[in-house]
Amino acid sequence: MTKRSRYLASRPFAIGLSLGGLVLLMAAVSLFYTPYDPNKMEIPARLQGPGPAHPFGTDQFGRDILSRVMKGAINSLAVGLIAVGIGMSLGVLLGVLAGYYGSWLDEALMRLMDAIYGFPAVLLAILITSVLGPGIEKSMIAIGLSYAPLFARLARGNFLSLKEREFALAAKAVGRSGLAIAWRHILPNTFPILIIQATVCFALAILAEAGLSYLGLGTQPPDPSWGRMLKEAQAYMNLSPWPAVFPGLAIMIAVLGFNLLGDGLRDILDPRIKFLKR
Amino acid sequence: MQAYVLRRLGVLILTLLLISIIVFLVMRVIPGDPAQIILGTEANPEILAQVRERLGLDRPLLAQYLDWLRGLFTGDLGWSFHYDLPVASLIASRLLVTGPLAALALLVTIIIAIPLGIYAATHHNRPGDWGIMIFSQLGISIPEFWLGILLILLFAVYARWFPAGGFTGWGEGPLGALRSLLLPALALGFVRAAVITRMTRSSLLEVLGEEYVRTARGKGLAERVVIYKHALRNSLISVVTVLGLQLGGLLAGTIIIESVFYLPGMGRLVILAISQRDLPVVQGIVLFIAAVIILVNFLVDLLYGLLDPRIRYD
């Protein structure tokens, strides 16, 4: 089976790609088109149910929910992308350093990672925002930091096993320096597993951002965010349930999409897991 | 085994110390003067100086940390600016809500996940298994606070079976209190059940392929006996471990869920403390939750060895 046909045959990958693609498309389109201005209030049209004029209905200020869900996608994806970027760069750097130098540095860095791992993303965000104040940038940093230990452990583990492999030993034999072997030979070989982890973390970051925005610690008004939309909708639920339905569905579709994409990539790129599944 | 436990204990203490340093340092890099934050910008300079002295802010950072650490060992987590009460007693009183909520959520998780996982494994690659796997995938992807909102919408706003939020208190009778906790526990437990269902299924499937299970079947034992007496007991070892490890996520989950259901627990206290700039409360709760997570992970690690005698520690 060629790699291309393996991608096509993986059902989780195909469904994940479609759902994730849908969210990406929605975010991309919202950059130059939304049915209405997402922040424009129209009080006479408040709390309307879905209809031809407003397919997802309107919120308590008469704002179009579809337009706000579309714009909210950008914030969620941006937080996911930057948080995973922070977690992955920091984690891989520390993991490779720990694996390469070993000894006390390895022990110290891994204990630090254990300590950070004790903080779930929400807890770390609470700590950071209580000091620096709420905001989307702080939630990106907090979520990213909380994922660093996952990448560090993965990078360190892979580094330790790969540095004994023939290609790494061959590079050493021709006189390459240790860091050059780590950067040029070992790191590219850990990419598949890091990409799988990044996809799963991306889904978790979207979920974490929504939770933080719900608590008022993430994206700040008037910027639309799925979590914050749910918080605002909760107060008017007995008048109209729709504002509390569509942002939640959007979060679920995005998280489901990227989770499945991660599962699919794991099936395709990691033959050991595939073997176990069979 | 003894050497392993001692080594892990050493690592545990080191990790807890590192956590205390992280929490302490983060709280000390606050832009501005904490005394000014407490008293406001109009505060009298003399009173400001008194508060600084009371908080020990005029002393070197290391001395402040060591004092704070000494306090932690005696159960002193600091003093709340807003409530004018010890942080430890505030946490203790809020644990009466958060503790039972987490326990109830764990119970919900077990009640949903174990039977579904067993059913999926024993009906492997059949429609029931696929259905449960779809349920599990959706469960993992659903935000628990949205599920909480949907439960309020269905069971409080429309059906009016449960309160939409708030807590009646244990003094009013346990039934009323449990009624206030059931919907939030369902929201928290359902999401975790999705993870544990997958875990139970895959763990049981793995055990069902083992040779001793084949032997049990070969000697003519009923399938029910093979599954429940031989396979399930062994497969549950890893499930119990994962359940323990879920506690961290569960405690973090209570922070959001308590806000959804307006429950006066530890999570709601910490969110209010952020808006009130009550930093000792934030510091105390974050430290408490992180320490509980690290301790539970340690205990789960040890429990794993006790549950499965095949595991040998070097």
How many Å apart are CA A188 and CA A16, to the nearest integer?
A: 25
Please tell me which residue, B75 or A2, carries the higher pLDDT value: B75
**Residue B19 pLDDT class (50, 70, 90 cuts):** confident
Q: What string of DSSP letters covers B289-300?
A: HHHHHHHHHHHH
Least Cα separation, residue B109 to chain A (angstroms): 20
pLDDT(A273) > 60 = no
Q: Which amino acid is at A1?
A: M
* Tens-digit pLDDT profile for residues A17-49: 999 999 999 999 999 998 988 888 888 878 888
Given this model, what pLDDT does residue A42 score?
83
In this structure, the number of other CB atoms found within 10 A of the CB of residue A11 comes to 12
Q: Please state the ipTM of this predicted complex.
A: 0.86
Given this model, what pLDDT does residue B95 score?
92
How many Å apart are CA B294 and CA A13, to the nearest integer?
A: 35
Residue A102 domain flag: yes
**Packing angle between helix A121-132 and helix B232-260, nearest 10 degrees?**
30
Q: What is the mean pLDDT of chain B?
A: 84
Residue A210 domain flag: yes
Which chain B positions have a beta carbon within 8 Å of A241's beta carbon?
A: 153, 157
Q: What string of DSSP letters covers A150-176?
A: HHHHHHHHHHHHHTTSHHHHHHHHTT-
Cβ B157 vs Cβ A237: under 8 Å: yes
Which chain A positions have a beta carbon within 8 Å of B146's beta carbon?
A: 210, 230, 244, 247-248, 251-252
Among A48-52, A250-254, B93-97, which stretch is predicted with the lowest mean pLDDT? A48-52
How many Å apart are CA B107 and CA A166, to the nearest integer?
A: 50
Q: What is the mean pLDDT of chain A?
A: 85
Cβ–Cβ gap A111/B249 under 8 Å: no
The tokens describing B266, both together, are 């530890």
Given this model, what pLDDT does residue B115 score?
93
Given this model, what pLDDT does residue B279 score?
79
* Tens-digit pLDDT profile for residues B87-126: 999 999 999 999 999 999 999 999 999 999 999 988 888 8
Most confident listed range (A178-192, B56-70, B186-200): B186-200
Given this model, what pLDDT does residue A277 score?
36
Given this model, what pLDDT does residue B18 score?
86
Cβ–Cβ gap A237/B153 under 8 Å: yes
% of chain A at pLDDT higher than 70: 94
* Tens-digit pLDDT profile for residues A186-235: 888 888 888 888 988 999 999 999 999 998 888 888 888 899 999 999 88
Given this model, what pLDDT does residue A6 score?
65
Given this model, what pLDDT does residue A257 score?
94
Most A CBs within 10 Å, among B141, B292, B299, to test the A interface:
B141
Chain A residue closest to B248 (CA)? A120
Of A123, A130, A211, the CB nearest to B290: A123
How many Å apart are CA A49 and CA A60, to the nearest integer?
A: 11
Q: Does B130 touch chain A (CB under 8 A)?
A: no
Please tell me which residue, B174 or A256, carries the higher pLDDT value: A256
**Residue A54 pLDDT class (50, 70, 90 cuts):** confident
**Residue B211 pLDDT class (50, 70, 90 cuts):** confident
Given this model, what pLDDT does residue B312 score?
57
Chain A residue closest to B18 (CA)? A115
How many Å apart are CA A79 and CA A48, to the nearest integer?
A: 30
pLDDT(B304) > 90 = no
CB pairs under 8 A between A and B: 128
Least Cα separation, residue A83 to chain B (angstroms): 18
Given this model, what pLDDT does residue A272 score?
52
Least Cα separation, residue B30 to chain A (angstroms): 5
Range of the domain at A119: 55-276
Would you give the DSSP letter of residue B173? -
Q: Within chain A, how many helices (H) and strands (E) appear? A: 12, 0
Segment B6-16 mean pLDDT: 84
Residue A32 domain flag: no
% of chain B at pLDDT higher than 70: 94
Among A8-17, A221-230, A269-278, B205-214, which stretch is predicted with the lowest mean pLDDT? A269-278
Burial class, A103, CB count within 10 angstroms (exposed 0-12 / middle 13-18 / buried 19+): exposed
Cβ–Cβ gap A252/B140 under 8 Å: no
Start-to-end C-alpha separation, chain B: 7
Given this model, what pLDDT does residue A271 score?
52
Cβ–Cβ gap A118/B152 under 8 Å: no
Residue A44 domain flag: no
Dump strand ranges (E) for chain B: none
Of B14, B274, B289, the CB nearest to A130: B274
Spatial CA neighbour of A13 closest among A3, A1, A25? A3
Would you give the DSSP letter of residue B243? H
Cβ–Cβ gap B149/A248 under 8 Å: yes
Residue ranges of B 136-165 with Cβ closer than 8 A to chain A: 137-138, 140-143, 145-146, 149-150, 152-153, 157
Residue A196 domain flag: yes
In CATH, what number is assigned to the domain containing residue A187? 1.10.3720.10
Segment B128-135 mean pLDDT: 90
Residue A4 domain flag: no
Of B18, B152, B251, the CB nearest to A237: B152
pLDDT(B262) > 80 = yes
Cβ–Cβ gap B255/A131 under 8 Å: no
Q: Which residues does A contribute to its contact with B (CB < 8 Å)?
A: 111-112, 114-116, 118-123, 126-132, 134, 203, 207, 210-211, 214-217, 227, 230, 233-234, 237-238, 241, 244-245, 247-248, 251-252, 255-256, 259-260
Given this model, what pLDDT does residue A278 score?
30
Which chain A positions have a beta carbon within 8 Å of B255's beta carbon?
A: 122-123, 126, 215
Given this model, what pLDDT does residue B32 score?
61
Residue ranges of B 212-251 with Cβ closer than 8 A to chain A: 248-249, 251
Cβ–Cβ gap B15/A252 under 8 Å: no
Spatial CA neighbour of B53 closest among B72, B33, B74, B70? B33
Given this model, what pLDDT does residue B275 score?
77
Given this model, what pLDDT does residue A256 score?
94
CATH topology of domain B87-307: MetI-like fold (1.10.3720)
Chain B residue closest to A250 (CA)? B142
Give the total number of structural domains in chain A.
1
Residue ranges of B 23-62 with Cβ closer than 8 A to chain A: 23, 26-27, 29-31
**Residue A159 pLDDT class (50, 70, 90 cuts):** confident
Among A265-274, B131-140, B169-178, B208-217, which stretch is predicted with the lowest mean pLDDT? A265-274
* Tens-digit pLDDT profile for residues B227-248: 888 888 788 777 877 787 777 7
Cβ–Cβ gap A111/B291 under 8 Å: no
Most confident listed range (A67-76, A260-269, B45-54, B279-288): A67-76
Given this model, what pLDDT does residue A274 score?
43
Please tell me which residue, B158 or B5, carries the higher pLDDT value: B158
